[in-house]
Structure 1
Amino acid sequence: MKLTSAAMTVALLTCTTLVNAAIPYQDKHYQFTQPDGETITLILNGNNYFAQQRTVGGKLVVYDDALRGMAYAQLSADGEALISTGVLVSNRAKQGVKVRQSEDYQQGLSSAIIAKKVKTAQQSMLGLLSHDLAHRRHEEHKTELTQLNTSITGKVKGLTIIIDFPDERGTITKAQIERFLNDENYSEFGNAQSVRGYFTSVSGGKLDYTNTVTAYYTAKNNKAYYADSSLSSTVRSQELIKEALNWLEFNQGFDFRSLTTNSSGQIRGLNIFYAGNSDSAWSKGLWPHMARLSPRFCADGVCTDRYQITDMGDSLAIGTFVHESGHLITNWPDLYDYDGSSEGSVASFGVMGFGAIGTSNRFEPTPPVAHFRALAGWDNVIELNPALNSNAPSGQLSHISGSNTSYKWSNPNNTNEAFYIEAIHQSGQHSQQLDSGLAIWHVDPAGNNSNEWYPYIQMEHGDASRDPENGRNRGDNGDLFNVAGEFSATLPNALAQRGTNALWWNGDASGLRISNISDPAAEIRFTVSATLPPPPKGDIYSGYLADKEQAIQPNGRWFQYNGGVIDAVLSGPASADFDLKLEAWKNGQWQQVAISETPSSQETIRYTASAGYYRIIIYSYRGAGDYRLTVQK
């Protein structure tokens, strides 16, 4: 229990929050106490990168630092921001002021402006990096991607610290929280299961995630000190967390070695519950969030990394805790659209989308999609592409919902890209799903969840309407494939609707066709017929890289391009880690415009280029071997 070294608690980076780990909000109601003591109700939509707050009547509001309260908002003259009107929100009748009983829904920021703000927030969270820090961030990025692709099975032990305040004591007992987290049979507060029960269920019994729950730590200061809405949510909350960790180390003699760590010796599951409500404005004070503790805390040879902190209120629902645990213990990214221009593609059909925050699924979250279960080592995955599996089954196949098996059809020229196939039936852990039928996921880590038309995971919607991508809903009962559906190079949707169908993202035919799908049931039957795709389009370059060596293509030179989409696909040795970069000649020098750097030698870049001069660089981050580069433009 001896602190390893005070020097170990140095800050790794100026960033405090991990990109791709934001809590989603859908019509979340919360109460805020104004400076004069009036409590108002606000409605929140968005996430931790950006959210718009409204009154119940639809008026936009922002926190006003000068007034130290929530004020009615208006668009700035340039339309780039929401600014305070200088008038505090109130429902009280005041002399000469008419109470707002019914308000018109006020127009907020455009999706384009929100997208800019999300990008700015993400860059701010990464910090302003010097060359050395940028290199360190590159190393961390590699580590995070490696951890994403690492299975997690067996017994995993997290830590949940419960905190109250001198002026607000905890009303939910330690025993209740232990049951909420660890009971095998649990139904308190309306939950269908505990956090442990959820992960046991979705992993097919391969993951046993439990938490050590501390006694209540009573903070040094009253709650208002930490809930100060004039400060970012990572300021006083991290001060509070460090207080509690030091108390555990020096007063309680806690053995931090008892916790499960990742390959870097960092605690996988660090969770903080505090008494009452947040009593803060969105993203301020004690507002619930996930972040990286900085400077980190180290003891007993292990250190902190990320944490989640949230208020307990007067009841507990497992949804948000499970979603955030998906980040903490498995490194899964979010699958919803941060900028609000759509509802993503996976929408409510997966726990890392909106499958854990709805009215009912917050008590019984939907499972992770097949790809994430496969990464975690929870599914037995059968490769269907005969180009990669000479024993691939074909003809009539079947799949049972919740069986911890799945099928996939991988891209031989980019093995990071694949279609995953599984049955979903509205029963068991899938009880809160919106539909029953066959689910098809188009997976490509080169995609971005804030780009609804090229996300990391695209759900192929059987009704062809792509409602979530178009912002119409978060999924419905027509999204899964059933007896009337077919999946091929041309179906279910016209490419004018921006769906890929069974094509790879570069437009090549995958050769996959699924037909004769049976009626929705716990077991779905379907027919897989493989059609030999045409040879890949584009120019092919090959070569050999030594460790840490790089090569420039085409043929050590550059190429002139009149503008359009450049697709570059790299395939290298499994024993090495090759990266792929695209550079453009700008302002008299070569500048990087796109990069793919997964912890493998399978890399993909898709870049919409303007007219100019370009070159492609293949770099050995680790290892040596032959590579093949396909460039289509």
Structure 2
Amino acid sequence: MRRFILGLTILLLLSPMLWGMPPHPELMEKIQRGELKAPKHNLVVSDEELAKAGFNPAQLKALSPARPKVAGPFNMLVILVDFSDKNSQVAPVFFDSLLFSQTQSSVRRYYDENSYGTFDLVTVNYPTSTGWQRAPQASTWYANGLNGLGAYPQNAQKLVEEVVDLVNPVVNFANYDNNGDGYVDGIAVVHSGPGAELSGSPNDIWSHKWAIVPRLRDGVYIFNYSMEPEYWTSPGDMTIGVYCHEFGHAIGGLPDLYDTDGGSQGIGRWSVMAGGSWNGSLGSSPSHFDAWCKIEMGFAVAGVITTNQTGVNIPNVEQSNAGIFRLWTNGTIGPEYFLVENRQRTGYDASLPSSGLLIWHIDDTVSSGNTRPWYPPNSPSSGHYTVALVQSDNLFQLEKNLNSGNSGDPFPGSTVNRTFSASTTPNSNGYAGAGSLVQVTNISNSGSTMTADFSVQTPTDVDDDLFNRPKNFQLSQNYPNPFNPATVISYSLEKSGPVELDIFNLLGEKVKTLVSGRQGAGLHQENWDGTDQSGRPVSSGLYLYRLRLEKFAETKKMMLVR
């Protein structure tokens, strides 16, 4: 299955597809009100365009670039270009620091933090060495009232072709083929002036990743590129967010995870590949890549949960590459699954909407990215995200376009939701409606290291002692049994200690915790009124109750009849 996922990522990476920076939140509101029109996304260089330019489409497919390496030094070429009608306002040395500094906030330091020190963004030709290049045409010619994303040649693709020719005498493009596949892996063009993703002007270029008809220079092809602005509203105010986002496309082949149609928020401010690229002041502190993106980039590997586990430590992913877990039925590997990660407001994640445990619902078979939101009462079969955030408050506000993330999203969050299972809201069912057996329970308070119990299996030992029975221990059969509406569970303890008494359904999903704490020796009685943890009546049927002590556990069955 990993081969399938990798294939999908490589397809995105190699496709000459256009991916754009998400609009600034204020601009997004104008688009939603119909005051502005969002540019087209997902445009491709067609076979017809390739053939017209004298390039054989079949040859392009045969010579497609391999996935760039994402470990060690990675050479990235950054070219500055201005126009006769829009002169540059910022010295090239500013971009030396913004992109490659090791001592101040930079794109390099952002990728270093996200990759846990395994990926180092460097260059052979600093922007100061190549300087600002003057484009042959005015900026309005390339923008053409369409943000530079219109038809060739009056678009950003033509600008890139011309800039490549301008710097060719001083740049050895072979230095930027990091994996030796014959293609330049990283090239970014910085245009003078602001970006349309903030200004909203059709005569400004919208930041994006796209591709040109391959050009052979220094023995390597130049194909994919990204384009970013010089400043936002005034010279010197440029931030790293837009660069981190577009480099995610250009280097990692990642798709946009915001809704490019503007109908929802995608995964909002929780990922740099969505609205998180604007976190901080105009993107000064972009959010980390979400768990799925880090895995796709090769920055992290998910721990696959194959057996039920209690008290699992979950370190924050800003500081540990061991904080992502993958859960699905019996630990099976397939295209649909959940990812769990602990996100905290630290490092470049300092401007997150909140903190806590994020649970992601992934479906790698979805090729439309995050453009088709799903929320009840609609059917998931009508469409859903590739990467969806399970919001602990169950309000689906990201999908409904009501906000870009808040304290109701993580667990336990503002609703103090500590349980995620088939019987909770939100639930852990698959998109087809079947139970996944996934449970994340006993979720701790948000912290640098969180804990939770993970379940992916139905308990098979419900009538067996897990340890040797204490001499003076007894778990009695509930009375009455069968029962309606309530029953009493009695047990005796040999000595004081930690006790947990839980109710489960036959799928092994926790329905309710009756006791969780320390109790003294002697006889104890607990009532169960046939409701779940949220106080809702459960259906008729067979249930299990389990008493767990420090070194012992026992389970019995009971019948609820409505």
| TM-score with structure 2 setting the length | 0.66
Deviation by residue 1:421-469 (Cα, 9 ceiling, x = unmatched): 1111112232111111111111111123111122111111111111111
Deviation by residue 1:60-112 (Cα, 9 ceiling, x = unmatched): 367xxxxxxxxxxxxxxxxxxxxxxxxxxxxxxxxxxxxxxxxxxxxxxxxxx
Greater CA drift, 480-489 or 406-415: 406-415
Cα distance in 2 for partners of 1:129, 1:220 equals: 26
CA drift at 1:221: 4.0
Contact 2:343 2:357 in 1 (8 A): yes
Residue of structure 2 aligned with 1:524, choices 442, 445, 450: 450
CA drift at 1:207: 0.7
Q: What residue is the counterpart of 1:421 in the other structure?
A: 340
2:243 aligns to what SS in structure 1? helix
Contact 1:16 1:291 in 2 (8 A): no
Residue of structure 1 aligned with 2:212, choices 283, 287, 294: 294
The answer on 1:458 being equivalent to 2:388 is yes
Q: What residue is the counterpart of 2:21 in the other structure?
A: 23
The answer on 1:437 being equivalent to 2:437 is no
Mark the CA change 1:183 to 1:231 in structure 2 (over 3 Å): closer, same or farther: closer
Cα distance in 2 for partners of 1:258, 1:485 equals: 51
Residue of structure 2 aligned with 1:233, choices 136, 149, 170: 149
- State the one-letter code of the partner of 1:303: Y
CA drift at 1:472: 1.0
Contact 2:209 2:224 in 1 (8 A): yes
Cα distance in 1 for partners of 2:314, 2:147 equals: 51
Q: What residue is the counterpart of 2:542 in the other structure?
A: none
Residue of structure 2 aligned with 1:203, choices 93, 97, 115: 115
CA drift at 1:336: 1.2
Q: What residue is the counterpart of 2:551 in the other structure?
A: none
Q: What residue is the counterpart of 1:484 in the other structure?
A: 417
Cα distance in 2 for partners of 1:127, 1:324 equals: 22
Cα distance in 2 for partners of 1:27, 1:231 equals: 18
Cα distance in 2 for partners of 1:151, 1:304 equals: 17
Deviation by residue 1:297-322 (Cα, 9 ceiling, x = unmatched): 22112112222223313121111111
The answer on 1:45 being equivalent to 2:28 is yes
Deviation by residue 1:479-533 (Cα, 9 ceiling, x = unmatched): 101253211112233xxxxxxx212222232221111111111111111233339
2:275 aligns to what SS in structure 1? coil
- State the one-letter code of the partner of 2:114: V
1:327 aligns to what SS in structure 2? helix
Residue of structure 2 aligned with 1:335, choices 244, 257, 269: 257
Contact 2:47 2:57 in 1 (8 A): no
Q: What residue is the counterpart of 2:527 in the other structure?
A: none
Contact 2:184 2:223 in 1 (8 A): yes
Gaps of 5+ in 2: 1-13, 375-383, 461-562
Q: What residue is the counterpart of 2:183 in the other structure?
A: 266
- State the one-letter code of the partner of 2:87: R
Q: What residue is the counterpart of 2:273 in the other structure?
A: 352
Mark the CA change 1:475 to 1:27 in structure 2 (over 3 Å): closer, same or farther: closer
Residue of structure 1 aligned with 2:70, choices 142, 152, 175: 152
Mark the CA change 1:282 to 1:362 in structure 2 (over 3 Å): closer, same or farther: closer
Contact 2:146 2:203 in 1 (8 A): yes
Contact 1:293 1:305 in 2 (8 A): yes
Mark the CA change 1:205 to 1:506 in structure 2 (over 3 Å): closer, same or farther: same
Deviation by residue 1:102-154 (Cα, 9 ceiling, x = unmatched): xxxxxxxxxxxx9xx96xx64x6464879x99x9699969979x84xx86211
Q: What residue is the counterpart of 2:89 in the other structure?
A: 171
Cα distance in 2 for partners of 1:456, 1:230 equals: 29
Mark the CA change 1:351 to 1:164 in structure 2 (over 3 Å): closer, same or farther: same
Q: What residue is the counterpart of 2:528 in the other structure?
A: none
- In the TM superposition, 1:172-191 aligns within 5 A as 172-186=90-104
Deviation by residue 1:319-339 (Cα, 9 ceiling, x = unmatched): 111100000000111111122
Mark the CA change 1:221 to 1:428 in structure 2 (over 3 Å): closer, same or farther: closer
Gaps of 5+ in 1: 1-14, 29-43, 63-113, 187-192, 387-392, 494-500, 535-633
- In the TM superposition, 1:558-597 aligns within 5 A as none
Cα distance in 2 for partners of 1:279, 1:355 equals: 18
Mark the CA change 1:522 to 1:414 in structure 2 (over 3 Å): closer, same or farther: closer
2:452 aligns to what SS in structure 1? strand
- In the TM superposition, 1:38-77 aligns within 5 A as 44-45=27-28, 52=31, 60=35
Cα distance in 1 for partners of 2:420, 2:63 equals: 35
CA drift at 1:172: 1.2
Cα distance in 2 for partners of 1:137, 1:352 equals: 31
* Pairs aligned (count): 413
- State the one-letter code of the partner of 1:18: M
Contact 1:371 1:420 in 2 (8 A): yes
Cα distance in 2 for partners of 1:355, 1:430 equals: 9
Cα distance in 1 for partners of 2:45, 2:136 equals: 30
Contact 2:306 2:332 in 1 (8 A): no
CA drift at 1:378: 1.8
Cα distance in 2 for partners of 1:352, 1:245 equals: 27
Mark the CA change 1:279 to 1:360 in structure 2 (over 3 Å): closer, same or farther: closer
Q: What residue is the counterpart of 2:559 in the other structure?
A: none
Q: What residue is the counterpart of 1:247 in the other structure?
A: 166
Contact 2:310 2:453 in 1 (8 A): yes
Mark the CA change 1:272 to 1:504 in structure 2 (over 3 Å): closer, same or farther: same
CA drift at 1:223: 4.1
| TM-score with structure 1 setting the length | 0.59
The answer on 1:513 being equivalent to 2:435 is no
Mark the CA change 1:279 to 1:418 in structure 2 (over 3 Å): closer, same or farther: closer
Deviation by residue 1:403-424 (Cα, 9 ceiling, x = unmatched): 1121111456652322111111
Contact 1:232 1:283 in 2 (8 A): no
Q: CA RMSD in A?
A: 3.6
CA drift at 1:167: 5.2
Deviation by residue 1:572-622 (Cα, 9 ceiling, x = unmatched): xxxxxxxxxxxxxxxxxxxxxxxxxxxxxxxxxxxxxxxxxxxxxxxxxxx
The answer on 1:323 being equivalent to 2:245 is yes
Mark the CA change 1:195 to 1:278 in structure 2 (over 3 Å): closer, same or farther: closer
- State the one-letter code of the partner of 2:106: S
The answer on 1:471 being equivalent to 2:401 is yes
Contact 2:22 2:275 in 1 (8 A): yes
Contact 1:237 1:285 in 2 (8 A): no
CA drift at 1:176: 1.1
Q: What residue is the counterpart of 2:466 in the other structure?
A: none
Cα distance in 2 for partners of 1:323, 1:225 equals: 26
CA drift at 1:365: 0.7
2:418 aligns to what SS in structure 1? coil
Contact 1:290 1:309 in 2 (8 A): yes
- State the one-letter code of the partner of 2:74: V
Q: What residue is the counterpart of 1:367 in the other structure?
A: 288
Mark the CA change 1:24 to 1:514 in structure 2 (over 3 Å): closer, same or farther: same
Cα distance in 1 for partners of 2:435, 2:253 equals: 31
